[in-house]
Every structure is written in structure tokens, then in C-alpha cells.
């Protein structure tokens, strides 16, 4: 399959080049542009020369990067991009933003035992939910959209996954990393349990890669037809997803790869429900999301999927 | 209006109806909740895009003002009155709700001081009926999205003057559940591997199936064959799929021909033929009507030659079983001519009008 990898690398390279030149062009245009507040620019796609599943990157780096360095982004995105729409790179996670729904398409994280360990130098209470000024004002969600909406500002990239540095934690509080989640019984409970479970996997695997995002799943109504229906909140009509997924790959010390995949409904889930109930085949998440997760890995090469031998 | 009490001189009454100076975050003692809400509405909950630092600053100043007024309403001797305790209670509830969303930390620190003062002054009714019962202690994961179940619940805050947190019991239950659910990592997994292809799916995938339709029950048989070998959920290469559809169509045409022209058809056979013809025409309109449109002319000519005039009038004309067109197929649009002349035989006319050119 190396031909395919070269092909996709070329395609991505072309995209990145195109994005760069478009960017410089837009930058020049903006000077005589009517928009009062210019958007701070975040690095979008990393240079793809650094993103390769072929090279094993050591799990521990001596220095913690505070910028979205190509090497860190390459590390996080080692197993491929689920999609390339509006990619934003932060210092410790990568996000693809869905401008129509004002929530992410997906976020990608790379966790190690070190990066999820309790760290006295990082205080979650110091973090504030803040609008992401790198998103165009038309497509930005704001605190006012969420206030009294009945929904939490639910992290896709969890704050507890980024404890190497305060800045890493701060950056998970951008509202571009949020989606409306049911609070009690979901965001602060069952979903939180799943997040903890993913963190605990770093005890088993030297590296844990996880992709998280929203789903808008159809349901059948009384007329026998199938509809996708979801609420939108606030003046910015932020979409309330019907479900959320996490697709996870753990690299065990013997270089074997293990996959887990979950879909949870965005509703109150009783505390005694084991999260294994929400395991689903990764293909079904891919179909619903319109994305491919870890497509640099041949599924047949996985040691286990959802705990079962492949 | 003259003031009736000297003490009132110090209580700043805010004229809520008037425009408030930009830097004034005063909350009056008259209707503190209303003043507070107005500040939130005009300076914090703003729908325009405002710098978050500005919003935060505005909330912090509103919050400081609210804390100040609550303190005065509760502890200023001059203000001692049941109505003031009521005001303080309402403002505290309102402010806490916003603190949970905007900035819980200052609230969580200050409410401890307020509790201590309440206990020191032995305002035990307020402690029991308001702070404890209404759960106005520190914000936590029960009411605030800045916390989750990994954070320590504020049980200790409530454990004073013989009280306990109203949520203590539910936390015990949850802890017990977590004990029991010491998760088996190799949990009983659900079947995830897609099963073997069924025989029908395999046939659909290869296109190797017999399309047999009998005179007995042609419509049902046609439908079931379509369902089994054409309308599958699996992905079938287009060439195979088209071939399967053509095979089905040929079988349908053949049995219709037999029903009508093997001797003189009974009424029942004519009904069966018309039913299947209608179904087949519908499918042809979707999968590609060319073949149908050629063949239906042959069928018509044979029907007229054999003088099956009932079938012609009652079925083919009335049920509009002529060539596929924009009335029943997305292969056509309004620019395509309607097949009017097909029906103009044996004194009949098409059951529809020609489209006019006016729009």
C-alpha cells in the first residue's frame, strides 16, 4: 500500500502548499478588507514531510512544546487525518472545525502516562471558556450561546488529557473545542468516565491516540421515514449533536496496536451503565461521521478491536 | 419624593429605568435582584462579539457588587428585616446560577466566608433553610460545567451545625456502584465482526440468480425477487447491478406477455398483468426507461391487434401505463415532449394534458 501512502502524501502536500499560498494571498487582501477585527492565524496543516506513520517517534520528548510545532503535530496525527476541513493545530491537540455547525468535526490527541498525570503546575480552575478568535466571527460560538441553554460547554479534547503545561490545558478551553453536551448524567458523569478510561489506557499502552467528535444520527419517526433532527442553541445556532464518539488506538510496548471505539448518546446515562455497552465497530462510526479514523493502519494488523482478537 | 428615613440616605437607590453610567455597577437595596439582572443583561450576556476579557471583567464587577449587597442585607443591623433576608436569598440564588457559568472560583471562596459569618451570628434558620436546603454552597459538577465527577464534591461545606449536604446520600450510592463495577477490562464484547454474506447477498453480488415469475402470483414474486437480488444493503458493482435489473425486467415482460396472449386472458389474468406492468413501469422509470419505452409500444400494438379493448382502455390508458415521461420519472424534465400520441388509438386520448408553453 506504499503507493497509496505516497499518493496521499502528495495530495496532502499539494493541499498544504495551496493553503500556504492562498493564506499569503488572503493576508495581503485583508489589508484593504472591511472587517474591523482581523483573525489571528493559527497554524493549519503541518508540513507533511514530518507526518509519517513509518517513523516511530519516541513517546517522551525532553522539552514540552508550547507552540504547535510540526514535530508535535506530526506525532499527534501519526495515523492519518480523518478529514481536512478547517484544520487547527494547538500546542497539544489538533482540531477540524465544522463552521456550519459551530462545533468540531473531530479532535485528535496523543496521550502518554506523563501527559495525563496530575501536575501541580497545571490548575484547571485557572482556565476560562473563551471564544476562539482564529475562527471567523460568522462561525464562532460564544459563551452567550451556551448560557442557560440547558447544555454544558462539553470538551472534545478533554482538559485532563493535557497536563504537561498550563498552556496546553488553557487551549482546551477554546469554545471551538466545545459542543453542547447534556451536563448531569453525561458530560460530568458518563462521558467523563469514558475520558478517564482513555486516560487509564496510558497505564497499559506507551502511546494512546484518540479521535473524538460529534455525530448527528438519524432516527425513524412514526411515518416510517428517517430524519436527522437536532437542536441548535443561541444566536449563533450551535448544533447540539445527538451522539459523540471516541475512536482510540493504543500502542503496546511490544509494538502491537489495539483499537477501541465508542458511541454515546448525548443524554442522561445512568451511573451504573458500564461503558463497554457503548462499544461499536469502528466502521459504523466512520460511516456515520463521514470520516476515516486511523486509515494509515490496516484493520487486519490490529491485535484487538474492542477487546476482541482480530 | 422626600426620604422618610435618615438611614435610607446611604442606601443608593438605582433608577433602573434610566441609563446607567458605564462604570457604575451599583446594586440598590430596593430591588437588588432586578438591578443585578439588568447589569448582567446589558454588560455580560451580550449577543454582539465582545472581547472575553471585557465580559469577564464586567461579570466580576457585577459579582463583587452582588456579594457586597448580600452581605449588607444579611449582616447590617440597620437592615435587619425578614424582607431583607428574602432579598438576600433571591439575589444569592440568582448570582450563584451565573457564577456557575461564568466564574465559580470567587463564589466558592466567598461563600465559605459567608457561611462562617452566618454561623457566627447564629442565623441558623438561614443556614438550614437557605444555604443547606437550596444547596447554595460551592459550585461543583452537579451544577457547573467547569467541574466533573473527578472533582471532590463540597460535602464538608455543609457539615456544620448538625447539617449534612442534601446530596450526601446519592454520593454514597454512587460510590457503592463504582465499587461493584470495578470494571472487567475484558468486558463481554458485543458481536462486532460482520457476519458471513447471506446466500441472497452473494447471489446479488455475482448476479447469478434465476428470475422466475409464474402466472400464479406475478406481482408478489417480482417484488420478492427485487428485494432479494436488487434492493440489497451491500455494495454491488454497477455492471452487476444493472444486469440484475435487466434480468428482472425481462422476466416481468415475459410473464406479462404470457398472461395476456396465451389464449384469451381471463379478467383475473388481465388484472395481474396490469398490476405487474404498473410495478415494472415504476421501476423502469427509476433504473432507466429506454427498454420499457420501446417494448410498451410493441405491447400496445399486440393488445390492439388482439382487440383486448378493455385492457387498453381500463388499464393501459386509464392507469397511464404508456411510455415513461417527466410525469413519473426523473430521467425527464419539462422540456421533454409528453407521449400523447401513444394513447391516441381506438378512440382514446392520453389521461393527461399537454404541458402549456406559458410558463
For the segment A257-294, what is each residue's pLDDT rounded down to a tens digit? Answer: 999 999 999 999 998 899 999 999 999 999 999 999 99
pLDDT at B78: 79
Is the four-CA dihedral A217, A219, A225, A230 of positive or negative sign? negative
Q: Does B183 touch chain A (CB under 8 A)?
A: yes
From A28-32, A132-136, B77-81, B304-308, the region with the lowest mean pLDDT: A28-32
* Chain B residues in contact with A148 (beta carbon < 8 A): 101
Q: Which residue has the cell 428517517?
A: A226
pLDDT at B355: 67
Residue A147 above 60 pLDDT? Answer: yes
Better-predicted residue by pLDDT, A9 or B2 = A9
Q: Does A252 touch chain B (CB under 8 A)?
A: no
Instruction: Report the pLDDT averaged over residues B204-215.
Output: 91
CA distance A198 to A220: 32
pLDDT tens per residue across span B105-152: 999 999 999 999 999 999 999 999 999 999 999 999 999 999 988 889
pLDDT at B311: 96
- Position A213 confidence tier, pLDDT thresholds 50, 70, 90: very high
Residues 6+ apart with CB under 8 A from A293: A82, A211, A247, A261, A282, A285, A286
Instruction: Report the pLDDT averaged over residues B52-69.
Output: 95
pTM value? 0.77
Q: Does A271 touch chain B (CB under 8 A)?
A: yes
pLDDT tens per residue across span A6-35: 777 777 777 777 777 776 665 665 554 444
Query: Min CA distance, B269 vs chain A (Å)?
Result: 33
pLDDT tens per residue across span A77-95: 999 999 999 999 999 999 9
CA distance A179 to B336: 49
CA distance B14 to B32: 9
Which of B46, B181, B189 comes nearest A144 by C-beta?
B46
Instruction: Report the pLDDT averaged over residues B289-306.
Output: 96
3-class DSSP assignment, residue A96: strand
Yes or no, beta carbons of A143 and B101 under 8 Å apart: yes
* Chain A residues in contact with B105 (beta carbon < 8 A): 125
Residue B53: closest CA among chain A residues belongs to which residue? A130
Instruction: Report the pLDDT averaged over residues B81-92.
Output: 92
pLDDT at B149: 85
Chain B interface disruption, residue of A146, A155, A188, most B CBs within 10 A: A188
pLDDT at B116: 96
Average pLDDT score, chain A: 88
From A106-115, B21-30, B175-184, the region with the lowest mean pLDDT: B175-184
Which of B52, B145, B190 comes nearest A128 by C-beta?
B52
Which is the catalytic residue, given A90, A155, A243, A258?
A155
Residue A282: closest CA among chain B residues belongs to which residue? B192
Nearest in space to A97 (alpha carbons), one of A129, A122, A131, A123: A131
The C-alpha cell at B328 is 413519473
DSSP class of A174: B
Residues 6+ apart with CB under 8 A from A185: A267, A268, A269, A270, A271
CA distance A305 to B189: 10
Amino acid at each position: 500500500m506504499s503507493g497509496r501512502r505516497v499518493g496521499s502524501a502528495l495530495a496532502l502536500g499539494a493541499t498544504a502548499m495551496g493553503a500556504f499560498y492562498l493564506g499569503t494571498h488572503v493576508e495581503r487582501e485583508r489589508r484593504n478588507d472591511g472587517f474591523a477585527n482581523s483573525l489571528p492565524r493559527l497554524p493549519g496543516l503541518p508540513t507533511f514531510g514530518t507526518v509519517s506513520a513509518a517513523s516511530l517517534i519516541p513517546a517522551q520528548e525532553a522539552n514540552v512544546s508550547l507552540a504547535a510545532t510540526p514535530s508535535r503535530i506530526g506525532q499527534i496525527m501519526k495515523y492519518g487525518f480523518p478529514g481536512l476541513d478547517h484544520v487547527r493545530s494547538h500546542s497539544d491537540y489538533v482540531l477540524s472545525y465544522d463552521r456550519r455547525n459551530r462545533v468540531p468535526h473531530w479532535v485528535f490527541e496523543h496521550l502518554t502516562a506523563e501527559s495525563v498525570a496530575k501536575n501541580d503546575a497545571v490548575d484547571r480552575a485557572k482556565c476560562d471558556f473563551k471564544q476562539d478568535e482564529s475562527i471567523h466571527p460568522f462561525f464562532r460560538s460564544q459563551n452567550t450561546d451556551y448560557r442557560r441553554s440547558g447544555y454544558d460547554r462539553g470538551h472534545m479534547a478533554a482538559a485532563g488529557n493535557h497536563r504537561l503545561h498550563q498552556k496546553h490545558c488553557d487551549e482546551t478551553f477554546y469554545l471551538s473545542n466545545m459542543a453542547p453536551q447534556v451536563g448531569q448524567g453525561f458530560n460530568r458523569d458518563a462521558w467523563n468516565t469514558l475520558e478517564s478510561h482513555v486516560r487509564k489506557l496510558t497505564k497499559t499502552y506507551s502511546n494512546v491516540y484518540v479521535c473524538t467528535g460529534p455525530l448527528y444520527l438519524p432516527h425513524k419517526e412514526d411515518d416510517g421515514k428517517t430524519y436527522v433532527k437536532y437542536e441548535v442553541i443561541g444566536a449563533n445556532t450551535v448544533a447540539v449533536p445527538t451522539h459523540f464518539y471516541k475512536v482510540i488506538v493504543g500502542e503496546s510496548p511490544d509494538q502491537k496496536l489495539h483499537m477501541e471505539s465508542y458511541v454515546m448518546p448525548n443524554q442522561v446515562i445512568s451511573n451504573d451503565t458500564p461503558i463497554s455497552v457503548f462499544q461499536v465497530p469502528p466502521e459504523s462510526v466512520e460511516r456515520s461521521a463521514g470520516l476515516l479514523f486511523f486509515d494509515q493502519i490496516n484493520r487486519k494488523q490490529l491485535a484487538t478491536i474492542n477487546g476482541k482478537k482480530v | 419624593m422626600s426620604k422618610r428615613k435618615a438611614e435610607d440616605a446611604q442606601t443608593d437607590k438605582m433608577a433602573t429605568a434610566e441609563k446607567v453610567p458605564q462604570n457604575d455597577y451599583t446594586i440598590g437595596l430596593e430591588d437588588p435582584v432586578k438591578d443585578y439582572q439588568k447589569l448582567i443583561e446589558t454588560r455580560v450576556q451580550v449577543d454582539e462579539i465582545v472581547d472575553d476579557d471585557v465580559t469577564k471583567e464586567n461579570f466580576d464587577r457585577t459579582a463583587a457588587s452582588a456579594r457586597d449587597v448580600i452581605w449588607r442585607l444579611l449582616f447590617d443591623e440597620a437592615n435587619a428585616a425578614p424582607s431583607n433576608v428574602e432579598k438576600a436569598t433571591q439575589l444569592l440564588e440568582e448570582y450563584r446560577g451565573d457564577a456557575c457559568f461564568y466564574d465559580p472560583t470567587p463564589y466558592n471562596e466567598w461563600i465559605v466566608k459567608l457561611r462562617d459569618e452566618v454561623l457566627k451570628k447564629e442565623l441558623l434558620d438561614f443556614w438550614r433553610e437557605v444555604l443547606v436546603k437550596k444547596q447554595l454552597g460551592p459550585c461543583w459538577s452537579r451544577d457547573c460545567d467547569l467541574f466533573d465527577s473527578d472533582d471532590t464534591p463540597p460535602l464538608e461545606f455543609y457539615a456544620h451545625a448538625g447539617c449534612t449536604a442534601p446530596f450526601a446520600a446519592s454520593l454514597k450510592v454512587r460510590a457503592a456502584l463504582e465499587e461493584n463495577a470495578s470494571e472487567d477490562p475484558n468486558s463481554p464484547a458485543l458481536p462486532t465482526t460482520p457476519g458471513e454474506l447471506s446466500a441472497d447477498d452473494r447471489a446479488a453480488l455475482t448476479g447469478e440468480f434465476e428470475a422466475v415469475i409464474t402466472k400464479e402470483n406475478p406481482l408478489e414474486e417480482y417484488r420478492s425477487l427485487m428485494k432479494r437480488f436488487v434492493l440489497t444493503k451491500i455494495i454491488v458493482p454497477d455492471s452487476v447491478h444493472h444486469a440484475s435489473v435487466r434480468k428482472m425486467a425481462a422476466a416481468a415482460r415475459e410473464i406479462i406477455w404470457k398472461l395476456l396472449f396465451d389464449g384469451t386472458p381471463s379478467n383475473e389474468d388481465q388484472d395481474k398483468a396490469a398490476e405487474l406492468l404498473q410495478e415494472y413501469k415504476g421501476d423502469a422509470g427509476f433504473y432507466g426507461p429506454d427498454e420499457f419505452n420501446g417494448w410498451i409500444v410493441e405491447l400496445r400494438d399486440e393488445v390492439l391487434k388482439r382487440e383486448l379493448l378493455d385492457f387498453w382502455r381500463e388499464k393501459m390508458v386509464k392507469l397511464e401505463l404508456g411510455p415513461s415521461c417527466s410525469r413519473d420519472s426523473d430521467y425527464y424534465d419539462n422540456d421533454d415532449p409528453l407521449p400523447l400520441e401513444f394513447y391516441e388509438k381506438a378512440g382514446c386520448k392520453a389521461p393527461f394534458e399537454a404541458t402549456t408553453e406559458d410558463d
